[in-house]
Structure 1
Amino acid sequence: MKILISGASIAGPVLAYWLSRHGFDVTVVERSPALRKTGGHAVDLFRPAMEISERMGVLPDIEAHATGTTRMFIHRPGSSRPARLDYVKLIGAMSDRHVEIMRDDLSEIYYRAGRDDVEYLFGDTITSISADGDVTFEHNPPRRFDVVVGADGLHSGVRRLTFGDNVAESFLGGYLSVVSVPKDLARDGEMTGYLKPGHMAGIYTADHLDDARAVFIFRPTQPLDYDYRDVDRQKTQLHAAFEQTSPEVDRWLEEIPRTPTFYFDAITQLQMRTWSRGRVTLVGDAGYCPGPAVGGSTSLAVYGAYVLAAEMVRAGDDHAAAFAAYERTLLPRVEGSRKLAAVNAKTVVPMSDWGIRALVGAGQLISLLPLSVTQALARLNTKGVRLYDTMPLPTWPAPLP
């Protein structure tokens, strides 16, 4: 079967790797002229995604590119000294197996794993998809494929071409921005954060990075007049939201006009009940984004790509059967991720001083308790913070080549 995947970030390369290993003829088209270097934030891989990465043979490379964050210092209103939190214990309460890595690094690792067996078309995009699988591109000549997969993110072009613009989505009340800033503004192994009602700003770096990343999440009382393509306006809105938070945060904001990389988007959740139609299906954020930075979307994308690949191998030429099985397996996990993200969006950025004290106090308690105790308590909540560790990997219908 000839498979076309749109998007070369996370889910796309993972899906391409597994399908090509099982004899599918795979092409990946990516709008950017090369792998994206968007200044993306650090992302989390939990147990299932790490096991999938291990089966791909790339886990050592992923672990070598881990951010290495072990501690957090949180500044909050009414306290002259920051709260010190044990980041290893905080994450350990969520997962027995975890790594934090920059999104750009992870994308490149997955791409390298399968690039020798996959055709990549950079600098192009899909402009139309027919019911018979005929695809037109902005630059390349038309081609026919048996299956088209949209792995092109929250603002998916494949989703728009297939389902139109009226897709069910829910704004979770916040905005996320990531700004590249000079490395000397942060310390290796450490994240420094500043909290005020409705606002969180943090900075971190890693030994192998040439810069630091300032991350901003805020929850305005009213939605912004916002266009995800208008970068200049986004920079103005970000500066207005965080100016005078602290001298340190003001210093990060000074870098916005000259930052080499800038990301800004609404924390939005897709709520589609199905993400397949005809020969087209969606994977990762394109189909079921639970919410950037709050819902574990990277691990869910890796997991979803793996499940889709397994079902396509199992179904052979019957893509409809593969899509149906893929959705049956994934929908309960997606619904759990949506619920978790909706809670996290409110918890991570409290709207009151009391909420900030409660959040920091909980972090301090976890930091004081033995890791074994916090993990034992967290395992009781399989639909909450331990959701991703409980996702079972599918059994492959054929031995791996």
Structure 2
Amino acid sequence: MRILISGASVAGPVLAYWLNRYGFAVTVVERAPAQRKSGGHAVDLFRPAMEIVDRMGVAEDIRAKATGTEALEIHRPGANTLRVDLRKVFTAVSDNHVEIMRDDLSEILYGTNSSEVDYIFGDSITAIGDDGEVTFERGPAQRFDLIVGADGLHSNVRALVFGPESRYSTWIGAYLAVISVPNYLDLDGVMAVTVEVGRGAGIYSAAHMDDARALFMLRPPQPLDYHHRDTERQKQLLRDHFRGMGWEVPRLLAELDRTPSFYFDSITQLRLDTWSRGRVTLVGDAAYCPGAAVGGSTSMAVVGAYILAGELATHAGDHRAACAAYERRMGDYVRRSRGFAVAAAKVIVPARRLDLWAMLNAVRLINHVPAPVSRAAAKLNNKGVRLHESIVVPDYPLRDV
């Protein structure tokens, strides 16, 4: 069975690894000319995803590249700096958690199968036929038994087969931007932020990094008008919305003119009734992005890719039965992540003074609650901060397909 995967970031390499282990013939096509190393931002892997990468033999490599961020400092005009022990937060959320820069994670995952799987960089799919015939921008047409879109929130595969993104996307009220900046504050293990009603900004570095990342989150009253590839317009929107904000924000905004990497996007959920159609299925953010920075989408992408591969092996390549089983196994997890992401976005970027007051007081409370108590309280609710711990990772035995 020949399988084509579009996307070589996180879900794509995980899926390719397991499909290759199960004996499928796998090709991965990636629009970028090479493995991305454009700066990236910090992402989280929770226990289920860590179990999967452990089975892939790279859990220790991932831990070795952990960001090392252990504290959060919140700076407010005229107020004392609030400092939070993030280790206490992470242990409450997950029994096995790693924060890692996305590009480092992608590089490690790609390395698990780059010599065994056919990776095609610098190309993209232009059409997909009902019979599995795929045409590309540059390479010759080929036929595949299954095509998988693992190409992110703005998935090309999803657009070709399921239609415009606007049919399935739901803005949940906020935007996120991340840029690379010099580590001029000499941050080591600390994320420093400032927050106001409707906007917040910060800077953090990570172990093994010479520079730092500045992040901006904003909650405008209505969706912003821009194209997702128009970076100059996006930068101007940031300048407009963060004008007049104090602390380090003017310096961070000044870096917009010289940053080597820039990310800006809405915090958007995808809500599709099905992720499969004919010989095409979707995985990761292309299928069920719960919202960047608020829904654990990277961890979910690893789990989804592993389950899709396992179901294809279990059903001996019957893609229709396998995709249906994959959707059943992931459905509840995805639906609960959506609800959590909406609530998290409201907390992280408060829309009202009352919400900001509640957030700051919750932070103060964390500092006074003993770690064992916070872990015990969190474990009482697997629909909230512990939702990523609730999914059981199936054991798919290796078999010939």
TM-score, structure 1 length as denominator?
Answer: 0.97
Local SS of the residue matching 1:200? strand
Residue 137 of structure 1: CA displacement?
0.5
Match of 1:281 in 2: 281
Local SS of the residue matching 1:161? helix
Q: Is the 8 A contact 1:186 1:204 kept in 2?
A: no
Match of 1:265 in 2: 265
Matched, 1:101 2:100: yes
1:296-340 Cα shifts (integer Å, max 9, x gaps): 000000000011011000011311000000001111110011111
Match of 2:312 in 1: 312
Local SS of the residue matching 2:167? coil
Residue 371 of structure 1: CA displacement?
1.4
Residue 211 of structure 1: CA displacement?
1.1
Q: Is the 8 A contact 1:76 1:356 kept in 2?
A: no
Residue 398 of structure 1: CA displacement?
3.5
Residue 114 of structure 1: CA displacement?
1.1
- Distance (whole Å) between structure 2 residues aligned to residue 90 and residue 239 of structure 1: 32
Matched, 1:234 2:237: no
Structure 2, unaligned stretches of length 5 or more?
none
Residue 227 of structure 1: CA displacement?
1.1
Q: Is the 8 A contact 1:38 1:263 kept in 2?
A: no
Identify if the C-alpha distance between structure 1 residues 306 and 71 changes in structure 2 by more than 3 Å, giving closer, same or farther.
same
Match of 1:26 in 2: 26
- Distance (whole Å) between structure 2 residues aligned to residue 400 and residue 113 of structure 1: 20
- Distance (whole Å) between structure 2 residues aligned to residue 243 and residue 96 of structure 1: 40
One-letter amino acid matched to 2:91: G
One-letter amino acid matched to 1:336: R
Deviating more after overlay: 345-354 vs 94-103: 345-354
Local SS of the residue matching 2:263? strand
- Distance (whole Å) between structure 2 residues aligned to residue 399 and residue 6 of structure 1: 25
Match of 1:120 in 2: 119
Matched, 1:150 2:149: yes
One-letter amino acid matched to 2:176: L
1:70-101 Cα shifts (integer Å, max 9, x gaps): 11110235x43211111111122211110100
Residue 66 of structure 1: CA displacement?
0.5
Local SS of the residue matching 2:112? helix
Match of 1:381 in 2: 381
- Distance (whole Å) between structure 2 residues aligned to residue 186 and residue 35 of structure 1: 28
Residue 365 of structure 1: CA displacement?
1.6
Residue 400 of structure 1: CA displacement?
10
Deviating more after overlay: 188-197 vs 201-210: 201-210
Residue 188 of structure 1: CA displacement?
1.2
Match of 2:134 in 1: 135
1:108-155 Cα shifts (integer Å, max 9, x gaps): 000001111100000000001111111000001011111000000000
Q: Is the 8 A contact 2:23 2:400 kept in 1?
A: no
1:232-279 Cα shifts (integer Å, max 9, x gaps): 000010111112211411111110011000000011100101010001
Match of 2:392 in 1: 392
How many residues get paired?
400
Local SS of the residue matching 1:91? helix
Q: Is the 8 A contact 1:39 1:263 kept in 2?
A: no
Local SS of the residue matching 2:237? helix
Q: Is the 8 A contact 1:90 1:363 kept in 2?
A: no
- Distance (whole Å) between structure 1 residues aligned to residue 194 and residue 247 of structure 2: 11
Match of 2:348 in 1: 348
Residue 397 of structure 1: CA displacement?
4.2
Residue 186 of structure 1: CA displacement?
4.5
1:195-226 Cα shifts (integer Å, max 9, x gaps): 00011111100131121000111001121112
Alignment of 1:1-400 (within 5 A): 1-77=1-77, 79-165=78-164, 167-398=167-398
- Distance (whole Å) between structure 1 residues aligned to residue 243 and residue 181 of structure 2: 16
Deviating more after overlay: 327-336 vs 220-229: 220-229
One-letter amino acid matched to 2:128: I
Deviating more after overlay: 134-143 vs 237-246: 237-246
Local SS of the residue matching 2:248? helix
One-letter amino acid matched to 1:178: V
Identity %: 57
TM-score, structure 2 length as denominator?
Answer: 0.97
- Distance (whole Å) between structure 1 residues aligned to residue 69 and residue 129 of structure 2: 47
Local SS of the residue matching 1:93? helix
- Distance (whole Å) between structure 1 residues aligned to residue 52 and residue 167 of structure 2: 30
- Distance (whole Å) between structure 2 residues aligned to residue 164 and residue 41 of structure 1: 29
Local SS of the residue matching 1:117? coil
- Distance (whole Å) between structure 1 residues aligned to residue 108 and residue 193 of structure 2: 29
Q: Is the 8 A contact 2:181 2:255 kept in 1?
A: yes
Local SS of the residue matching 2:374? helix
- In angstroms, what is the RMSD of aligned CA positions? 1.4
Q: Is the 8 A contact 2:62 2:100 kept in 1?
A: yes
- Distance (whole Å) between structure 2 residues aligned to residue 120 and residue 361 of structure 1: 49
Residue 36 of structure 1: CA displacement?
1.6
